[in-house]
Structure 1
Amino acid sequence: MSFDFDLFVIGGGSGGVRAARIAAGYGARVALAEEDRMGGTCVIRGCVPKKLMVFAASMPAAVDEAQAYGWSATLGAFDWLAFRAKLHAELDRLERIYRAGQDNAGVRVFNQRATVAGAHEVQLADGTVISAKHILIAVGGRPFVPKFDGCEHVLTSNDLFHLEALPKRLLIVGGGYIASEFACVFNGLGSDVTQWNRSPLLRSFDTECRDLIVERMCARGIDVHENVVIDRVTKADSGFVAHCGDGRSQEFDAIVYATGRVPNTHGLGLEAAGVRLAQNGAVVVDDWSQTNIPSIYAVGDVTDRVNLTPVAIREGHAFADTVFGAAPRKTDHALIASAVFTRPEFGTCGLSEEEARKGGPVEVYVSTFRPMRSAFAGAEERVLMKLIVAKESRKVIGCHIVAPEAGEMIQLAAIAMKMGATKEQFDATCAVHPTMAEELVTMRAPVRHH
């Protein structure tokens, strides 16, 4: 049977774009459909604009520090609309690069929604049916807002880059890394930020690190409350009122829900095509990113494996190599480092202390100190470096860093960990002085054994 295309990719985010480009490079006839903007969550409404906002939010602290170092420095008002205009111009530039990458690779792009119409068929929003030998689902995830009375009044992370004005009083609901990052960003930009969550903040991360981050967030003026559940939200003359189960109510200019993300599979036609989905709508795949329908594959957040941009890119690349490049390979999901851009920043790779203890005897090495730069400036910042070592193999199975530029440090530590480095190999590495990162190779005695 002849098909219109060898590969049809649904979704123009990081994973879909990479898969399409690599497959086309192998000579496959490739099409891709994207209903919104090319670049996906990461580029358009996630990591990239968020990190630029993190940079903007760090400026007041930089001026305070400049004064402590002898500069006569002052900061004027923050012009949100000027920043927003520049931010969107940068996102437009990045989107053009993504589109050019597809064009240059010879991928046919359809700027409309596509749904699955069968094992080898997709249907475009305009009704066109296209056949393909292979279909790749790369539609990512979307923010989840629970249904409650007044839920139409709340915003999600998608809306935060489009605000008409900076909210003076902002409530962020949620306790994961997205909620916590935005709490820190808007706090830095000058909003009065309140963060409510039904459980402890950042609870999926190492507890000792989490505690330090939350303590510093509170010290910076973020009003954090755990064990809070919102019953309803009502509109008032001057804002929105959040009403809690315990009778408390408070008014805000904006309420943002960052209570998790769900796979974006609703109405995609996957169930009718016989594709197995998990309870939360995630596409169930094997180690090769293949679904139970042999011609249909899925990569990225829609599979709910490890929901990070670089993981989606690796999965998309491995899929293209396997199916079109005659170079079969699986994506390795072990020891993937990540960074949380709170203030302080957090870099993590491997197991938390709590997880590691379940797997056998471990040694825990911790160094916590006031970094030279902050101490001189009289700031109360604290840095925490933590290594978790498997007692038998001596391998470093967890590395956690709470510090400025922790994301940069964890990337390099992750290389050693991926190679299976032992604590003794860390120790055999000469320190770079004076740096914060030298603590990773100078921790002599464990503070705890489990």
Structure 2
Amino acid sequence: MAIGANLPHMRRARTQAGAAGAKCMSEYDYDLFTIGAGSGGVRASRIAAAHGARVAVAEEYRVGGTCVIRGCVPKKMLVYGAHFAEDLEDARHFGWDIPECHFDWIKLRDNVLGDVDRLNGIYTQTLENNKVEIFHERATITGPHEITLASGEKKTAKIILIATGARPLIPSCPGHEHGITSNEAFHLDALPKRILIAGAGYIANEFAGIFHQFGSKVTLINRSDQLLRGYDESMRDRLLQISLTKGIDFRFNADFRGIEKNADGSLTVAMTNHEPLEVDCVLFATGRVPNVEGLGLENVGVELDEKNAVRVDEYSKTNVDHIYAVGDVTNRVQLTPVAIREGHAFADTVFGGKPTTLDYGCIPSAVFSHPPIGAVGLTEAQARQKLGSVEIYTSDFRPMKNVLAQRNERSLYKMVCEGTTGKVVGLHMIGPDAPEIIQAAAIAVKAGLTKADFDATVAVHPTMSEELVLMK
């Protein structure tokens, strides 16, 4: 009954939208021109096209963006490769006669890059199948509704979407040109015997685990005395403890003074509060900055915030009515699934007649360190500051596989609850498969379930995840 009652209104809306689209086409080359074909830009363009908009995308590098080409996807493949180092060793305790193994970096590197090529093709095909026109070149905003391509060709669009993402931040210390970033890490011609990783965020810790398992001597330095700022302190402490046990070195309160290249090709890194260190490679993982330079934003008066990111409202609109921005270039939450949701919400709002915003609360995240971390909601410290009364439940245990493999590494799960109601406001875990487990658990936290709801759920035994319903 309700659906039938809405049908005439929906037909009128589609007719009006069609008329508006026809008017738009008489004035502009496109309804939407997207600058940047990463996760957010591709989703926004595809959904806008599905709503009937005529869409074009400009991408100066490769379709797929940071995540697919030089981020999450190839990095996760390296993480898989790194895990075999311990898995092959552990297999001997499970009865497998494993000979001495040799790791071939070039083979893994080339296989990973080959799969990146495959994904680049799939993303390109997705846009083409949705009749989105692709320009494989840089685009600059040169007027209110005007975009100029690197070839000099000019295009006009009713709506312009900025989805140019972010890039690694490179410190300005002397000799910084001798370092690399995560972008170049996937293309190394050989594994470094000694690598220094600058930073203590998720990228730094992930690559620390990867290179360590591949046999490199890893030293991680950080300007403060903490790693993984923003994650629960218990998880951070446990990762540091495990990493030190594995043989990864940490130097805290260390600022770069400079990098000097030696005659034999090695690098000498000078830093505050510590002795200089000689390594074969320096990898900068010191944060990411929005890609806003050279876009012509100043030509149309698009405002940037104090961190040089594009300032937008809840609908991803800038201060200029016909210009929007999604993804890392806005520096709201720099996660691929968030960029995708923002792009989808933008397309539904502007071209689907369905105003949509994104809820940034309770966004789950993972660190693919070794072992990995999964988290959703408030940390213990955040909950105490925000709620006052909290109850903390934990499970500190040795996974069954580790017991038989004679590996002492322990996992830790923590549940943060509101003191008066028992509502679960945060879940944090470090251990095998933590990112896989946290996805399902995040649904429960998002839904506002309580510790009693978890306790009332029968455990799946024997599993790692059963600890979620057994915490004390």
Q: Same fold (TM over 0.5)?
A: yes
Residue aligning to 1:95: 120
The equivalent residue for 1:356 is 383
- Within 5 Å, which residues of 2 pair with 1:200-215? 200-215=226-241
Greater shift after overlay, 98-107 or 363-372?
A: 363-372
User: Is the deviation greater in 49-58 or in 74-83?
Assistant: 74-83
- The match for 2:162 is 137
- Give the equivalent residue in structure 1 for 2:400: 372
Residues of 1 paired with 2:421 and 2:161: CA distance? 40
Name the residue aligned to 1:259: 286
Q: Return the offset for 1:394.
A: 2.4
After TM superposition, list the pairs within 5 Å mapping 1:23-102 onto structure 2: 23-102=48-127
In the alignment, what sits opposite 1:320? 347
The one-letter code sitting in structure 1 at the alignment partner of 2:261 is K
5 Å-filtered alignment, 1:1-400, equals: 2-199=27-224, 200-238=226-264, 239-246=266-273, 248-360=275-387, 361-400=389-428
Q: Unmatched 5+ residue regions in structure 1? A: 445-450
- Give 1:120 deviation, angstroms: 1.4
- Aligned to 1:359, the other structure's residue is in SS state helix
- With normalisation by structure 2, the TM-score equals 0.93
1:48, 1:406 → 2: CA distance? Answer: 18
- Which one-letter code corresponds to 1:428 in the other structure? A
User: d(CA) in 1 for partners of 2:86 and 2:393?
Assistant: 30
Give the superposition deviation at 1:395: 1.6
RMSD: 1.1
Confirm or deny: 8 A CA contact 2:160 2:323 kept in the other structure.
Answer: yes
Distance 1:269 1:75 in 2: 57
Structure 2 CA distance for aligned equivalents of residues 196 and 435 of structure 1: 36
Task: Please tell me the residue identity of whatever aligns with 1:192.
Answer: K
2:21 alignment counterpart: none
| TM-score relative to the length of structure 1 | 0.97
Counterpart of 1:420, as a letter, is G
CA deviations over 1:287-331 (Å, ceiling 9, x no partner): 101111010000001110111000000100010011111111101
- What amino acid sits opposite 1:109 in the alignment? I
SS of the residue corresponding to residue 147 of structure 1 reads: coil
Deviation at 1:267, TM superposition (A): 1.6
Displacement after TM superposition at 1:148 (Å): 1.4
1:432 counterpart (437, 442, 460): 460
Contact 2:304 2:310 in 1 (8 A): yes
What is the aligned length? 444
After superposition, give the CA deviation of every residue in 1:374-407 in whole Å (9 maximum; x if it has no partner): 0122101111111001123422110001010100
Larger Rg: 2
Equivalent AA in structure 1 for residue 291 of structure 2: N
Higher mean displacement: 314-323 or 413-422:
413-422
How far apart, in 1, do the equivalents of 2:468 and 2:111 lie? 38
CA distance in 1 between partners of 2:345 and 2:298 (Å): 25
1:245 is displaced (CA, Å) by 2.4
Q: Which amino acid aligns with 1:269?
A: G
Instruction: Tell me whether 140-149 or 264-273 shows the greater mean CA deviation.
Output: 264-273
* Aligned-partner residue type, residue 30 of structure 2: F
User: CA–CA distance in 1 between the matches of 2:356 and 2:156?
Assistant: 26
Quote the residue 2:15 is aligned against. none
3-state DSSP of counterpart to 1:179:
helix
In the alignment, is the contact (CA less than 8 A) between 2:314 and 2:357 conserved in 1? yes
State the partner residue of 2:7.
Answer: none
Q: Could you tell me how far apart the structure 2 residues matched to 1:115 and 1:423 are?
A: 52
Q: Larger deviation: 29-38 or 389-398?
A: 389-398
Is residue 409 from structure 1 mapped to residue 437 from structure 2 by the alignment?
yes
**How far apart are 1:247 and its partner, in Å?**
6.0
Q: After superposition, what is the alpha-carbon deviation per residue over 1:30-62, rounded to whole angstroms, capped at 9, x for unaligned?
A: 000000011000000000000000011111100
**Distance in 2 (alpha carbons) for counterparts of 1:295 and 1:15:** 18
Deviations 1:203-248 (A, max 9, x none): 2211111000111111111111111111010000221110112362
- Note if contact 1:171-1:252 (Cα within 8 Å) is conserved in structure 2: yes
1:101-155 CA distances to partner (integer Å, 9 max, x unpaired)? Answer: 0000000100000111233111111122211000000000000012111111110
Misfit runs of 4+, over 4 Å: none
**Offset of 1:198 from its aligned partner?**
1.0
Which moves more between the two structures, 207-216 or 63-72?
63-72
Q: Secondary structure at the match of 1:420?
A: coil
Q: Which amino acid aligns with 1:423?
A: K
- Equivalent residues of 1:60, 1:75 under 8 A apart: no
